[in-house]
Structure 1
């Protein structure tokens, strides 16, 4: 093996480590507008879905994909970072509906704290595993994508069906799918499959967000106290 090969390998590893550090830094920063958006949403009683759940869902998807398109377009500039932070503020607003519902329980604040703690444990466990293994887990992608699409279709169907059992199954499925997505998305950065920290942050942020929402829903179902 030549000196140039060693040098190239060192540069590649350094580049991957830099992307991972920047991703974690931006991920931590993205939590601030999320918290702000959630706080404002709770105070204002914000909800996209109050009037028509289906219309609200379609509007949410339109806004979210608008952000996705813009972030992808400007991912190599500071504009992409600002758009990402704007998106996380929007997602905080969207989270406020779940928080309002949970705060209706007498132990709602404890459930939210427990969901946040559980999400943190899952993130650090999956991210740590993704870093330690150093294996390419790209093969997981297609299976996780199929699972996500099935969960999305079931979620849309349950807007009309309103089946409690289906809600539980979906929450458990989403918890498993997006926990695995954390492993997958962090591994993509570690192995060099993702080289842009803005898009890496967006992917991992969505994983964490969905893990938190799923945990919050399950804790509300099984541990919520109305007394």
Structure 2
């Protein structure tokens, strides 16, 4: 990562296949490496006392959202330097730590560990399936952009509203919608790399990571609601 030109967004399809394949390989490698701080963060998160959330769940969630958005902007601002990689790993560590409350809740179920495993496996299956479709077909899924952006905004707004309402049925609908939206983003992001629309490894990794992260969360929430077993 020595020059901005190396990461400048090219005209769609202008890059040679070898360069595009290199970008894809490096993105997948970095994506795999982000799992290390994510797992480390989640291990710490499981053992963290999040009692402050019980006192002010809405404020705590909004503050954490602001922190993660801030880190994402920092990653974007430093994407052409080694600082971008470091901040990306910091972001994934914090994201893993923030899984703590959800994982603690899941482990209260008799089959919580099993459902966490199912959610992780489901996330992996969805990712590899959709990434393979985008890679093998080389189809440009850019046409999904506006639809996915609209869906993302609706999911975020609905989630914020449900922080106040806390209606289980709405939570299920949001989780199901989020699975569809973030699955679509996987197609969209991998397609951009394959077709030369994204050459920055850091930003490509961040985009796919966010889709996987939210997909995992949505799957856990859906599985717990539908299959969770309590005493």
TM over 0.5: yes
* TM band (smaller chain): over 0.9
Greater than 6 Å deviation, 4+ residue runs: none
Q: CA deviation at 1:185?
A: 0.6
Q: Which runs of 5+ in 1 are unaligned?
A: 1-8
Q: CA deviation at 1:48?
A: 6.8
Q: CA deviation at 1:47?
A: 6.6
**Residue aligning to 2:118:** 114
Q: CA deviation at 1:180?
A: 1.0
* Higher relative contact order, structure no. (Cα contacts within 8 Å, ≥ 6 residues apart): 2
**Residue aligning to 1:45:** 49
Q: TM-score, normalised by structure 1?
A: 0.93
- Structure 2 residue 104 is the aligned partner of structure 1 residue 100: yes
Q: CA RMSD in A?
A: 1.5
2:220 maps to which of 198, 216, 224:
216
**Residue aligning to 2:185:** 181
Q: Distance in 2 between matches of 1:217 and 1:50?
A: 18
Q: Alpha carbons of 1:81 and 1:217: their partners in 2 closer, same or farther (altered >3 Å)?
A: same
**Residue aligning to 1:61:** 65
Q: CA deviation at 1:137?
A: 1.2
Q: Distance in 2 between matches of 1:26 and 1:50?
A: 35
Q: Distance in 2 between matches of 1:53 and 1:69?
A: 24
Q: Distance in 2 between matches of 1:48 and 1:140?
A: 39
Q: Distance in 2 between matches of 1:19 and 1:179?
A: 21
Q: Which runs of 5+ in 2 are unaligned?
A: 1-12
